[in-house]
Amino acid sequence: MPASAQPAPPLLAGRRLLVVGAGTRPSDDPDAPIGNGRAIAVAAARQGAEVACADLDTGAATATAGLVTGEGGTAHVLTADIADPDACAEMVAAAALTMGGLDAVAVNAGIGAGYGLAGTALTDWDHVLAVNLRAPFLIARAALPLLQPGAALVFTGSLAGTKPGSSSPSYDASKAGLTGLVRHIAAEAAPHGVRANVVAPGLIDTAMGRAASAGNTDRDRTARLIPLGRQGTAWEVADAALFLLSDRASYITGQVLHVDGGLSTLR
């Protein structure tokens, strides 16, 4: 077979990846779709990565690790409450120790709370910002000294970070702030050959997304709001994340990649 006809190697062959928020929200729906973090972990393993699956919910992280090993990959389970500042650095150190180093980080964990300005308690605001913005800062701060040239970080943002996207001011603010944070991380990491980018999903069909829109039973109407005419899947978010983590995105850093079916193009 000619060299040009050889199959391409896996995107993340030999990479040691920490996925923060690797579980999927528990659901009573037997048809509940997979979450973004779980999809990233499983898809990364399919592309040759060793994966540390970190989550607040040990059971959810264990289930994701089981899916990884079921496909022949190598997975490790870490439990961490990233609302606790000390837990962020401890989680990064544990992942590096367990895998013998760290080559990539995907920060997917995120929450929302409150409804409108009047309906958002200070405790809601503080907790959302702690998980969605402070934790990514702390994780990046702990990870950067461990990453070698060629490494990459990907953070899960949201369309809500670009335009009003939810009823939660704390969520919208945290996702907008994440974009600014990641641009700084990218600038600071670039001289070391390390990249950082944001994947910004729009209306993705996940268990968390269904729970957030529980009052809306007309999914066809929701789909009609999207230029491509349908909600996305966590696997499509994972494909974007894996691209940014891979060497195929070796000249891309400090960017926001919208995975939203064209919603970000609408006024």
Residue type, 202: G
Return the pLDDT at 167: 85
Return the pLDDT at 266: 84
Q: Return phi, psi of residue 206, to 5°.
A: -130, 170
Return the pLDDT at 7: 78
Return the pLDDT at 206: 81
Q: Does 36 or 8 have the greater pLDDT score?
A: 36
- Contact (CB, 8 A) for 207 and 33: yes
Looking at the predicted structure, is the pLDDT value of residue 162 above 70? yes
Q: Does 1 or 17 have the greater pLDDT score?
A: 17
Return the pLDDT at 207: 73
DSSP-derived letter for residue 204 is B
Express as a percent the part of the chain with pLDDT over 90: 73
- Pairwise CA distance, residues 201 & 219, whole Å: 17
Mean pLDDT rounded to a whole number for the chain: 91
Return the pLDDT at 265: 87
- Contact (CB, 8 A) for 165 and 172: yes
Residue type, 121: A
Return the pLDDT at 216: 55
CB-facing half-sphere around the CA of 197: CA atoms within 13 A: 22
Return the pLDDT at 218: 58
What confidence tens digit (pLDDT) does each residue in 111-148 have?
A: 889 889 999 999 999 999 999 999 999 999 999 999 99
Architecture of domain 11-259: 3-Layer(aba) Sandwich (3.40)
Catalytic residue among 112, 171, 178, 186: 171
Q: Does 93 or 207 have the greater pLDDT score?
A: 93
3-state helix, strand, coil in the chain (%, to 5): 45, 15, 40
Return the pLDDT at 264: 87
18: Cα separation from own chain's centroid: 11
What confidence tens digit (pLDDT) does each residue in 208-248 have?
A: 666 655 555 556 667 788 999 999 999 999 999 999 999 99
29-38, 86-95, 128-137: least confidently modelled range: 29-38
Confidence of residue 164 (pLDDT cuts 50, 70, 90): confident
Q: Is 251 noted as a catalytic residue in this protein?
A: no
Return the pLDDT at 225: 84
Q: Does 191 or 211 have the greater pLDDT score?
A: 191
Looking at the predicted structure, is the pLDDT value of residue 163 above 60? yes
Cα 162 to Cα 86, 143, 198, 199, 200: the distances in Å are 30, 26, 12, 12, 9
Alpha-carbon torsion, ordered 12, 13, 15, 19, to 10 deg: 50
Q: Does 78 or 115 have the greater pLDDT score?
A: 78
- Pairwise CA distance, residues 218 & 115, whole Å: 21
Q: Which two three-digit tokens encode residue 187?
A: 């600038």
Looking at the predicted structure, is the pLDDT value of residue 97 above 70? yes
Looking at the predicted structure, is the pLDDT value of residue 2 above 70? no
| Region of residue 124 (phi > 0: left; psi between -120 and 50: alpha; otherwise: beta) | alpha
Looking at the predicted structure, is the pLDDT value of residue 77 above 90? yes
